Structure 1
Amino acid sequence: MKEEVYGYVRVSSKDQNEERQVIAMLNFGVCQSHIIVEKQSGKNFNRPKYQKLVEKMKNNDTLVIKSIDRLGRNYEEIIEQWRMLTKEKHVRIVVLDMPLLDTRKEHDLIGTLISDIVLQLLSYVAQTEREFIHQRQAEGIAAAKARGVHFGPQRIQLSYEFDHYAYLWSKGDISSRKAAQRLGISYQTFLRRVKEKEYQKNL
């Protein structure tokens, strides 16, 4: 049976462009019909197209990926997936961005050992970098909030007439929709801000 070469391309969201990865696959020699593109997070391996591809691949087929993080984001799961593909299904793996991770070249025990060590090191580094990014993002948000920066939609500045119409509304002399119309805001915003002011008075 003919040995096949498949390319697996993954982007984290529908907004991301997979073109760079696809071009790398084509330049490597993967047929367009054998390139599988999946737009889904790499946080786990519950990806329909990837799972279907794994089931389809057979002994000595080759799986090509652009970089190790396209396979996944979790260090332990990447290692386990690599072991399953290479040891159980006997699929060859090529990581384009890292020539050392090319199991087609493993003809002896030393080659296998080097590949396994490099894989574990890169997987660890990739996961650690993601954790640092998340930490820096959290620290940046916390620092911004401490400076008084507000996240989310900017609050509407109320007209000086707001208290007047809020008073009329509380007396039943005007509807919330009419009051909001006079103030140039939505009636939902009018009612919400009335409640906020009432709450503040009761503090």
Structure 2
Amino acid sequence: MSQTILYARVSTADQTIEHQRTQAEAAGFKVDEVVADHGVSGVSTKLSERPEGNRLYDKLRGGDTLVVRWVDRLGRNYQDVTDTIREFMRRGVVIRTVINNMTFDGSTTDPTQMAVRDALIGFMAATAQAQAEATKEAQKAGIEAAKSDPRRYRGKKPSYDRAGLELVRSMLAEGAGTTAVSNATGLSRQTVLRIKGDPIGAEEALERWEA
């Protein structure tokens, strides 16, 4: 029995799996299952290298439909995206996008239709990579501009305040474990580990926001 699987990739805090599913259902897709990766870059990490994305290669069978919001959910690297789509098409999987309602079907045998399909795949994959590169360059330019004025460049705001930082330091100095410090301060274990691993950097980050 064929199935329709929605693959969602969430790389930022303002994206949600539920939003991507709602969009797909609003566009008329009847989703049987959602497979999603959180906090994974589509530029540097291939679909096959992502924890959940890799599962698609085992789950999808001929006759199944893979739905994505757009091809950039599969990746933002031209070669990776085109290889991925063609691999699934060879397996008999139909790939469909919510945006623009595009369909990529490997069962097409008409040469003209195949040429148009392959051109569209290449164009969309190239667009995804170009958008990613443009965003990266814009972010880089913004950071460099901000760095030119130390008063403006502060980086991400620390999740701890002065009292919290001092408590972490004190507990670590007394030999408390990461979990105990996390529970006592309300900070995540990752934050405690970052402070422990780079106390000077933690102090500097806080000073930038106190200035």
Shift of 1:114: 1.0
Distance 1:11 1:150, change over 3 A: closer
Secondary structure, in 3 states, of the residue corresponding to 1:126?
Answer: helix
Change beyond 3 A, Cα 1:107–1:3: farther
Q: Is 1:59 equivalent to 2:62 in the alignment?
A: yes
Q: Give the match for residue 94 of structure 1.
A: 96
Which blocks of at least 5 consecutive residues in structure 1 are unaligned?
155-187, 193-203
2-structure distance, mates of 1:91, 1:151? 47
> Which runs of 5 or more structure 2 residues have no equivalent in the other structure?
159-198, 204-211
Once the 2 structures are TM-superposed, how far is the Cα of residue 150 of structure 1 from its aligned partner? 3.5
| Residue in 2 that maps onto 1:8 | 7
Instruction: Find the structure with the greater CA-based Rg.
Output: 1
Q: Aligned ranges for residues 35-74 of structure 1 at < 5 Å?
A: 35-41=34-40, 42=42, 43-45=45-47, 46-74=49-77
The equivalent of 1:161 in structure 2 is: none
Which consecutive aligned stretches of 4+ in structure 1 deviate over 6 angstroms post-superposition?
Answer: none
One-letter code aligned to 1:70 = R
Q: Is the 8 A contact 1:58 1:90 kept in 2?
A: yes
Report the number of matched residues. Answer: 155
SS in 2 for 1:98: helix
The whole-number CA distance in structure 1 between the counterparts of 2:53 and 2:137 is 29
Partner of 2:153: 150
**Which has the higher mean CA deviation after the structures are superposed, 17-26 or 140-149?**
140-149
Whether the 8 Å CA contact 1:38–1:49 is kept in 2: the answer is yes
Q: Distance in 1 between matches of 2:146 and 2:132?
A: 21
Change (3 A) 1:30 1:50: farther
Provide the TM-score with structure 2 as the length reference.
0.63
Spell out the pairing of 1:20-35 with structure 2 (5 A cutoff). Answer: 20-27=19-26, 28-31=28-31, 33-35=32-34
1:98-146 deviation digits (Å, cap 9, x = unpaired): 3343428846222222111011111112211211111122122222222
Whole-angstrom distance in 2 between the partners of 1:96 and 1:15: 19
CA RMSD of the aligned region, Å? 2.9
Other structure's SS at 2:100 match: coil
Q: Cα distance, 1:15 vs. partner?
A: 6.1
Report SS of the residue matched to 2:37.
strand
